[in-house]
Amino acid sequence: EKGGYPHFMLKEIYEQAQAMKDCMRGRLLEQEKRVVLSAVTHHRERLLNAKRVIIVSCGTSWHAGLIGKQMIETFAKVPVEVEYASEFRYRNPVIDARDVVIAISQSGETADTLAAISLAKERGAFIFGIVNAVGSSIARITDTGTYIHVGPEIGVASTKAFTGQLTVLTMLALSLGKEKQTVSTTEYEEIVAELAVIPDKMERMLVFDKQIAELAKCYTYARNFIYLGRGYNFPVALEGALKLKEISYIHAEGYPAAEMKHGPIALVDAEMPVVVIATHHQLYEKTLSNIQEVKARKGRILAIVTEGDEVVKKLADNVIEVPATLACLSPLLTVIPLQLLAYHVAVMKGLDVDQPRNLAKSVTVE
């Protein structure tokens, strides 16, 4: 069942390129240089008239939501809020019939997410689901949606569902932007073309598996980790930290890199590994100076950089190179070494990667 892999988690990390192709099948029309989501075609008016979008989800799905927000705001020019479903449902939020609520859930059974959309629905909002499990409770109560179609995810730590969610969010942001004419044809077509080649680039990331497994040995004794990223890669820092916490039981925190100097930098010393996503995108130069600040305090840096980067290579203790891509699509690649890092650290520690303590695959209770 694990297809020759020692754990479901590793299998699912390796499956991501194929999963992404499955997710885009019939939706990304490469020849025609466009994306088509039937949910957008069928509910065009309702979606285009949204005065704002609210994304509700939990955990990894919430991290995907944070990236989705940036894409929807950039391409469709509509304000987006991202809420923890558990907070939203109890906050008596202001919602009305012109709001569109997007629920993101792998399992489709998360109790808080289900309750959040029931509440939003009662108040007249239109509910759009981004779900993996076909026919699940969340899929059934939404007004429409787009399945991520990445196949069953068995490992408790979510991996291919995250990249599938990002793929759907990208296609959604592009479709809305195209309909609203808030994204230029050039940019739209550039992103569509790049989306089509991301699975090959994901595949190329897997050559780092061995190197990351080696690296993981140096990290098994760490008590704490910091993950830094900016722009589209800030939520990836949060996701990398969550992966490490849940399966290796090492405390980790993700921050937008610029927040370091507002407190967390006090934690940095020779014992503190710092993982920095420093690809050639938004705010690269500023991230570079954050790396220097960490080095000045003797922190150990693992940097995720764009292929061919020579600058960070000189500063960091270790680097993982990712193929060049557009900023908005970079999380699809940068998250992979972070998933592998968490996996290998946990394996080195002899932990049960697929069934970490205290966690369940779907959280059907509050």
Which residues belong to the active site?
361
Within a 10 A sphere around the Cβ of 61, how many other Cβ atoms? Answer: 25
In angstroms, what is the minimal distance from the CB of 124 to ligand F6R?
24
Question: Could you count the other beta carbons within 10 Å of the beta carbon of residue 307?
Answer: 12
Q: Choose the stretch contacting ligand F6R; rule: CB under 6 A; options: 105-113, 175-183, 299-307, 332-340.
A: 105-113
Size of the site for ligand F6R (CB under 6 A): 15
**H helix runs in the chain, sequence order:** 8-14, 16-24, 38-42, 44-48, 59-76, 85-88, 111-122, 137-141, 160-180, 185-205, 209-219, 234-248, 284-296, 311-315, 331-348
Residue 362 touching ligand F6R (CB under 6 A)? yes
Q: Which of 335, 337, 305, 332 has the alpha carbon at shortest distance from 321?
A: 305
**Position among 113, 142, 146, 306 found at the interface with ligand F6R (CB under 6 A):** 113
Q: Which residues within the stretch 220-249 sit at the binding site for ligand F6R (CB under 6 A)?
A: 242, 246
- 177 and 188 in contact (C-beta within 8 Å)? yes
DSSP string, 108-133: S--HHHHHHHHHHHHTT-EEEEEESS
Interacting positions 143-162 with ligand F6R (CB under 6 A): 157-158
Q: Is 363 in the site for ligand F6R (CB under 6 A)?
A: yes
* Span from 20-28, 104-112, 172-180, 332-340 in contact with ligand F6R (CB under 6 A): 104-112
Specify the residue, 136 or 279, whose C-beta has the smaller distance to ligand F6R.
136
Applying CB under 6 A, which part among 102-110, 194-202, 209-217, 261-269 lies near ligand F6R? 102-110
* Closest residue to ligand F6R: CB criterion: 59
Of residues 43 through 72, those in contact with ligand F6R by CB under 6 A are 58-61
Closest alpha carbon to 332 in 37, 36, 21: 21
CB of 201 to ligand F6R, least distance (A): 23
Q: Note whether 107 binds ligand F6R by CB under 6 A.
A: yes
Which positions from 304 to 343 touch ligand F6R by CB under 6 A, shown as an x/- string? ----------------------------------------
CB nearer to ligand F6R: give 166 or 260.
166
For 37, list phi and psi in degrees, rounded to 5. Answer: -115, 125
SS3 call for 227: strand
Rama region for 103: left / alpha / beta (φ>0; ψ in -120 to 50; rest): beta
Handedness of CA 93, 97, 103, 107 (dihedral sign): positive
Q: Rule CB under 6 A: which residues touch ligand F6R? A: 58-61, 105-107, 110, 113, 157-158, 242, 246, 362-363
